[in-house]
Amino acid sequence: MTRPKLLLDCDPGHDDAIAMLCAARYGDLVGITTVSGNAPLDRTTTNALLVSQIAEIDVEVHSGSERPLMADPVHAHHVHGPSGLDGPELPPLQRAVASRDAVEFLLDRAADDVWLVPTGPLTNIALALRRDPALLTRFAGITLMGGSVTGGNATPVAEFNIWADPEAAAEVFATGNPLTMIGLDLTHQVRMGHQEAVRLREADTATARMVADILDFYAASTPGARAAGAAAMHDPCAVLQVTHPELFESIRLPVAVETRGRYTRGMTVVDSRVPRSSSDRADGPFNDQVQVARHAEAARVIDLIIEAAVVPIP
């Protein structure tokens, strides 16, 4: 199996932590950058370091933006707890950040064989784009977790990563560069919870125990996950779409990010009108190069996530 090179920009975060394991297991993880999102930057960075330490992932972690481009920082403590990774018992931190300049690292490591996978608010990416407007064309591709076609989680219409920094997301989408959008319509198809935690505990390794604790906490922390008995694996889906594209199906649709609406700020506006003629084409900042993921082979994706938690990182 060829392991694509991945650069993960994340805000761990329960599902980001699992995404890290998938990236290291199935990809060649060239680096991790962190951003303020699920928790403040110092916590998301500490969590990224702790997860890499527990899973023995040999990777540099570069911390990035402490706040969104314009908006006030918002966090998802109600989902991930004040630490951003409540649930597992975490050991004392023994690792340190490689730098506090994630933007420089992104600019430096962009290459045509590296996939960029953002799984948090897009602040670092937007800041890097301001320094190099061609940045996204220098990567093999970009697959991001964010947005939705049919409804939100942070607001009735906005998904958390886009809503937490809509201006950054708008700048990323408005580049017109090809993007793959792993939104809520897709990630809600891949759910894990107590049932998988039981399977993981049989493995009895530090990483498997951490993931089992993550699943137990995460599946109980939000009303949606509680109702379904399992939590959506948002961020691992973004990584696995790159490493196992055959398990995902997407459709190319124009997408723009709403930054101004009184009720719709942070919404990804997806033009799914069919047929769409030149007269009713979406215009303005719509990016018509977005592959919107719409179906995942959930059972196989879940098996891959469990394997990533159980089998040691190569």
Give me the residues that bind Ca ion (CB under 5 A), please. 11, 13, 16, 119-120, 235
To ligand BDR, the closest distance from the beta carbon of 133 in angstroms equals 25
Residue 160 touches which member of Ca ion, ligand BDR, none, C-beta under 5-8 Å by kind: ligand BDR
Under rule CB under 6 A, residue 143 binds ligand BDR: no
Residue 153 touches which member of Ca ion, ligand BDR, none, C-beta under 5-8 Å by kind: ligand BDR
**Residue 181 main-chain phi, psi, to 5 deg:** -105, 115
Q: Which stretch binds ligand BDR (CB under 6 A): 8-16, 54-62, 108-116, 194-202?
A: 8-16
Q: Exposed (0-12), middle (13-18) or buried (19+): which is 154, by Cβ within 10 Å?
A: middle
Looking at beta carbons only, is 77 or 201 nearer to ligand BDR? 77
Three-state DSSP state, 30:
strand
Under rule CB under 6 A, residue 13 binds ligand BDR: yes
To Ca ion, the closest distance from the beta carbon of 19 in angstroms equals 7
For residues 70 and 302, give the distance between their C-alpha atoms in angstroms, rounded to a whole number: 37
Looking at beta carbons only, is 69 or 237 nearer to ligand BDR? 237
Looking at beta carbons only, is 4 or 121 nearer to ligand BDR? 121
Looking at beta carbons only, is 37 or 285 nearer to ligand BDR? 37
To ligand BDR, the closest distance from the beta carbon of 129 in angstroms equals 20
To Ca ion, the closest distance from the beta carbon of 160 in angstroms equals 8
Q: Catalytic residue positions? A: 234
Task: Tell me if 204 sits within 8 A of 247, measured CB to CB.
Answer: no
Alpha helices in 11-159 (DSSP H): 14-26, 41-54, 77-80, 102-109, 123-131
Under rule CB under 6 A, residue 290 binds ligand BDR: no
For residues 55 and 206, give the distance between their C-alpha atoms in angstroms, rounded to a whole number: 7
Task: Tell me if 186 sits within 8 A of 296, measured CB to CB.
Answer: yes
The neighbour count for residue 272, using CB atoms within 10 Å, is 13
Looking at beta carbons only, is 47 or 175 nearer to ligand BDR? 47
Residue 183 touches which member of Ca ion, ligand BDR, none, C-beta under 5-8 Å by kind: none
**Residue 148 main-chain phi, psi, to 5 deg:** -170, 165
Closest by alpha carbon to 184, among 156, 236, 145? 145
Dump strand ranges (E) for the chain: 5-10, 28-34, 61-63, 114-118, 141-145, 179-182, 191-193, 230-232, 248-257, 268-270, 287-296
Q: Which two tokens stand for residue 29?
A: 């993880």
Q: Which stretch binds ligand BDR (CB under 6 A): 58-66, 90-98, 159-167, 258-266?
A: 159-167
Under rule CB under 6 A, residue 185 binds ligand BDR: no
Question: Which residues contact ligand BDR (rule: CB under 6 A)?
Answer: 13, 15-16, 38, 76, 79, 119, 145, 153, 159-161, 234-235
